[in-house]
Amino acid sequence: MDYGFVKVASAIPSVRVADCRYNVEQMLPIIKEAEEKNIEILAFPELSITSYSCADLFQQQLLLKEAEKGVARLLKETLNYNIIIIIGIPIPFAGTLLNCAVVIHNGEIMGAVPKSFLPGYSEFNEERWFTSGKEVAEGTKIKLCEQEIELHQLQLFRTPSCTFGIEICEDIWGPNPPGIQLALQGAEILFNLSASNELAGKHKNLVEMCRQHSIRCIAGYIYSSCGFGESSTDLVFAGNAMIFEKGAILEKSKRFCMESQLMISEIDVDYLRHCRMVNTTFAASRNDFLSRTVAITNIEQKINNTCELTRKFIQNPFIPSADVLDEICEEIFSIQTAGLAKRLQHTNSQNCVIGISGGLDSTLALLVAVHTCDLLKKERSTITGVTMPGFGTTDRTYRNAIRLMEELGITLMEVPIKNACIQHFKDIDHDINVHDVTYENAQARERTQILMDISNKKNGLVIGTGDLSELALGWATYNGDHMSMYSVNASVPKTLVQHLVRWYAKNIASETVRTTLLDIVETPISPELIPADKNGNIKQKTEDLVGPYELHDFFLYHFINNGYTPRKLYFIARNTFKEKYDNETIKKWLTTFIRRFFTQQFKRSCMPDGPKVCNCSLSPRGDWKMPSDASYALWINECNEL
């Protein structure tokens, strides 16, 4: 597929034990459906041709011959198919029997991968029938369906889209799974053909193990385990088709289903390559395995350039799912609090000084400061909240700022800035009726000067209130609200701030404080630097000027964490926000994001210290290092070509 996605699928067919012809008949319509849906690689369960639970029947020559005939039938029926198919069969080899995964493409067998680790415990005594693939010498060739093929336990298959490798069931349960070696040698996607029975509580462990394996390997992981139709003499197989991408579960089948299932999703190989490139631990680990011989098979698969996604990207990637939202909010708030506590102790600061606007960001910073004082057993009066009404301050934000400070019991100061700014405009010969960038920035810098001077007077620390989204867009006045002595919100994105304030309101705040906080959450985001309208309402709304923060946070997350190009950002944003924004709107704000992100780097190059709370940070000291004068020509040109 295009955009770096590889469309994969995990299939669970219905089977009959030891009935190869029936099993192939069940697989063919699944393969046909997958081909029609432009799936590039399809995996079936372990020993899918024979069924897994044949037991001593595996030692019957008739079954083994019928299994090979089943493969021949699949080769014939898929002769003109573009899809790559991975099936499971028993293969006789040198007087032994191997449990193998066989890769098929366009009527040819591309290779066979024998199972490395064989369970010897009672439920799965595979050692009774099979030999470990580790016993197969390097460079071994075998004949299957009159074709000479590679037989190797560590085998990479390269297509024009990706490189993939194969594990079989028990392989993942061992302390040194083959998938780790395959990933370090270049496999970006791993397939596991499995037969895992159901036990109470086992499924949760299985899912978590596959998820962690995909994280450790920085890979896509496609798991296919047999289901209905396997023998129930002693065990029950519920059928598990799961697709993972570096820890994220993209698709998961229904268990205990009596119908065949086909789970489809797209693995973002570009993203995985980006993650491996920036993860130096992964690169360093490769040296441990470079001496191991890996067989490489090239598959000349045609690439379908039409990209139709089945997977979903969440609109707010920084916001945790509802089931863990409270837990994550508490954790983030604790990180912010611990960071500020350490900074106060280290600097021996007696007070905190915060500019309180009645908006979300300053509210969150104040809540962190209050909680820190409580933690350090300091009086809340050591926090000085300063409200500095200016030309654009509205009654709603002013009242909320005053009310919040009073209700939290901190020291309140009010320092109006109008007269100071008017005098400043006279000093620099600026027309007060011209509401340009000078008019706005003069107010922001006046407020910062006030906070810094009060801080000096009180032996205090100026607590910054700006958030991650503002840093990304440069939506801060240089040496104005851009500057502080410790910035507690520096890695909290705008879309998450309101959830943190809401969490505090629900779980910690008193009833009166809760009411004020919830009204602040509902207040439009604004710097309030332009006079209000005739009704006293906010006239200058940030999102009208720079675009919706939910779009910018979406762009930021995937640009920084995944290394997405503008073309890919536009593609996934169109798919994700198609019900909310038209294509032109998305393109407009994407172009704005790229332009501002590059041109405003100089503000991030000298940003204050602040705690990292999310997996995305723009600190020039540890996370994002970019020249302040880097050209954005390549990125803007791609935006213009959309």
Residues 112 and 89: their CA atoms lie apart, in Å, by 10
Around 298, how many Cα atoms within 13 Å sit in the side-chain half-sphere? 3
Q: At residue 12, what are phi and psi to the nearest 5 degrees?
A: -125, 100
The Cα 106–Cα 298 span in angstroms is 13
Count CB-CB contacts under 10 A for residue 107: 14
Q: Helix or strand or coil: residue 529?
A: coil
Candidates 162, 169, 616, 639; catalytic one:
169
The maximal CA–CA distance of the chain, rounded, in angstroms, is 100
89 DSSP β-pair partners:
100
Amino acid at 220: G
The residue from 20, 40, 46, 145 that is catalytic is 46
| Terminal alpha carbon distance of the chain | 18
Any idea what the Cα angle at residue 117 is, between residues 115 and 120, rounded to 5°?
120
Q: Which is it for the CA torsion 565, 567, 568, 569, positive or negative?
A: positive
Query: What is the 3 state secondary structure string of 456-522?
Result: HHHCEEEEECCCHHHHHHCCCCCCCCCCCCEECCCCCCHHHHHHHHHHHHHHCCCHHHHHHHHHHHC
The Cα–Cα gap between 549 and 177 comes to 43
Output the six-digit token pair for 19: 């009935």
Annotated catalytic residue, options 54, 66, 115, 639 = 115
Q: Which two tokens stand for residue 546?
A: 């720079």
CA distance 263 to 268: 16
Which residues lie below 8 Å from residue 622, measured CB to CB, with a gap of 6+? 612
Dist CA 569 CA 567 (whole Å): 6
Assess whether 115 carries a catalytic annotation: yes
The answer to whether the beta carbons of residues 553 and 469 sit under 8 Å apart is: yes
DSSP 284-348: HHGGGTTTS--EEEE--PPP-------S---S-TTSPPTTTHHHHHHHHHHHHHHHHHHHHHHHT
Query: Residue 411 region, left (φ>0) first, then alpha (ψ -120 to 50), else beta?
Result: beta
Active site residue 46: yes
The answer to whether 415 and 421 have CB atoms below 8 angstroms apart is no
Instruction: Using the CB atoms, write b or e for 563-583: b if 16+ within 10 Å.
Output: bbbbebbbbbbbebbeeebee
33 phi, psi to nearest 5 deg: -60, -40
CA neighbor of 490 nearest in space, from 637, 609, 364: 609
β-sheet bridge partners, residue 411: 384
Catalytic residue list: 46, 115, 169
